[in-house]
């Protein structure tokens, strides 16, 4: 297997020396480069392939936010990770949509190693020849929906407020109506009527609202030609259901607020590759749907047979290029093949896999085979005995 290349960028030589010592146990599987400035980093990227870049935020001259924005534009397949202090809220806002993952400084060695191992596993799939071939067949990949892109730009401004976000949404009446419709649906279980965007933003939080806006934009701008074999409405309902189930599971298992919000977004986006494939390759995807029905196989197996790539591949590739968080990209790529995801743990990819399986169990498809629960992996992650409880909780949600 080809060794992965990791590039660390930090203007403090002592920090780089510490990172070098920390990474020595991984040198058998990874090559490491260490540079002290953004300019040196760009020169290194131009000289050889870099799979993952890990940059400090606060550096003189070109800071980490500026560097990773350039990397996103010129080297979009490089996974982008930011090392930043907990107080760097301004930095995080400036890098929304640019950074795949944030790591708090100081970081313990095991956390950093785990992040790098998972990033390399994702990168192996993102750089696979069959995925490059699929992207070529698709042609130009869709750009980020306009309102979402506007939100991302606003969030990078230091003085951004919830009122600013609400004001952007209110400029688009269709978007506002759809967001309010969704907020008041059974998926969120708020048990109160939300009648204005500002209140929705306050109640749900920026991450969830941003996920809603992105999904609304994607489903609107990428709506494929109507076909009897493919239902955008059914895909929408499935995506919402998996998102709600994933959030419920995360809330049940942890007191963290961040994880439920992350898995909600990941669940929402996990099947976006299906929409991409049908919108861009309608004839081939219709053939894939027919083949899945004839052989009673899950769609991802039929996709692999007909297209030599799955909706997880396509969706992860697109979301990665768009700069969505690593946990969202990983859930899209790995939710049907956890066996390829290293370091088993209770993480978004595992939660979305379980939520997706539960949705299919509660909404059996008469035409296709249902995805198979990877119980051995759940057991390795220490949550195998929790699945029956999750199924009961999700059934009670009546989604």
Backbone angles phi, psi at 30, to 5 degrees: -140, 145
Contacts 24+ apart (CB under 8 A), 218-224: 218/142, 218/145, 218/272, 218/275, 219/275, 220/145, 220/174, 221/142, 221/145, 222/142, 222/275, 222/276, 222/279, 223/279, 224/275, 224/278, 224/279, 224/282
Q: What is the dihedral of CA 24, 25, 29, 34, to 10 degrees?
A: -20
Q: What pLDDT is attached to residue 384? A: 95
pLDDT in 10s for each residue of the chain, 399 residues: 578 899 999 999 999 999 999 898 888 889 999 999 999 999 999 999 898 999 998 899 998 989 998 998 888 778 888 887 654 556 556 666 677 777 777 777 887 888 888 777 767 766 666 666 666 566 555 656 777 777 777 777 777 787 888 888 877 766 777 777 777 766 676 656 777 788 888 777 777 777 777 777 777 766 655 567 788 788 888 988 999 999 999 999 998 878 888 898 899 889 988 988 888 888 889 899 999 989 989 999 999 999 888 999 888 887 876 767 778 888 999 999 999 888 788 999 999 999 999 999 999 876 677 889 999 999 999 999 999 999 999 999 988
From CA 339, how far away is CA 323, in angstroms rounded?
25
- Helix, strand, coil tally for the chain in percent (to 5): 60, 5, 30
Q: What pLDDT is attached to residue 163? A: 84
CB of 48 closer than 8 Å to CB of 94:
no
Q: What pLDDT is attached to residue 373? A: 95
Q: What pLDDT is attached to residue 100? A: 75
Q: pTM for the complete prediction?
A: 0.70
Q: What pLDDT is attached to residue 276? A: 84
Reference 331, options 75, 83, 118; nearest CA is 118
From CA 278, how far away is CA 225, in angstroms rounded?
8
Residue spans per domain, the chain: 4-127, 142-397
Q: What pLDDT is attached to residue 130? A: 65
- Class at the top of the CATH hierarchy for domain 142-397: mainly alpha
Q: What pLDDT is attached to residue 80? A: 86
* Chain centroid to CA 239: 13
Can you identify the CATH homologous superfamily of domain 4-127?
A: Response regulator (3.40.50.2300)
How many CB atoms neighbour CB 191 within 10 A?
Answer: 5
């Amino acid at each position: 297997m080809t060794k992965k290349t990791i590039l660390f960028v930090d203007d403090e030589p002592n920090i780089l020396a510490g990172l070098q010592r920390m990474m020595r146990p991984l040198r058998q599987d990874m090559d490491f480069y260490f540079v002290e400035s953004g300019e040196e980093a760009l020169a290194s990227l131009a000289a050889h392939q870099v799979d993952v870049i890990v940059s400090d935020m606060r550096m003189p001259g070109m800071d980490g936010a500026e560097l990773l924005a350039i990397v996103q534009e010129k080297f979009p397949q490089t996974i982008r990770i930011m090392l930043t202090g907990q107080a760097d809220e301004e930095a995080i806002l400036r890098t929304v949509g640019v950074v795949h993952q944030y790591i708090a400084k100081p970081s313990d060695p095991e956390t950093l190693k785990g992040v790098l191992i998972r990033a390399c596993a994702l990168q192996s799939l993102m750089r696979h020849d069959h995925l490059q071939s699929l992207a070529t067949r698709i042609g130009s990949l869709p750009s980020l929906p306009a309102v979402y892109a506007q939100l991302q730009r606003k969030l990078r401004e230091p003085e951004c407020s919830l009122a600013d976000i609400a004001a952007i949404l209110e400029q688009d009446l269709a978007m506002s109506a759809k967001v309010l419709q969704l907020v008041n649906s059974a998926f969120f279980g708020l048990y109160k009527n939300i009648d204005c965007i500002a209140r929705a933003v306050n109640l749900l939080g920026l991450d969830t609202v941003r996920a809603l806006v992105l999904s609304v934009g994607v489903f609107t701008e990428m709506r494929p030609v109507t076909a009897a074999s493919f239902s955008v409405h059914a895909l929408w309902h499935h995506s919402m259901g998996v998102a709600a189930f994933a959030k419920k599971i995360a809330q049940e298992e942890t007191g963290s607020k961040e994880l439920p919000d992350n898995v909600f977004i990941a669940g929402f986006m996990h099947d976006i590759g299906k929409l991409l494939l049908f919108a861009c390759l309608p004839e081939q995807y219709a053939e894939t749907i027919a083949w899945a029905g004839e052989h009673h196989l899950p769609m991802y197996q039929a996709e692999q047979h007909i297209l030599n790539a799955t909706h997880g591949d396509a969706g992860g590739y697109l979301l990665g290029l768009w700069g969505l968080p690593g946990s969202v990209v990983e859930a899209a790529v790995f939710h049907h093949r956890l066996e390829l995801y290293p370091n088993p743990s209770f993480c978004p990819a595992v939660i979305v896999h379980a939520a997706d399986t539960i949705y299919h169990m509660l909404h059996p498809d008469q035409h296709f085979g249902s995805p198979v629960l990877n119980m051995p992996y759940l057991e390795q992650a220490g949550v195998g005995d929790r699945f029956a409880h999750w199924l009961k909780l999700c059934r009670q949600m009546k989604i």
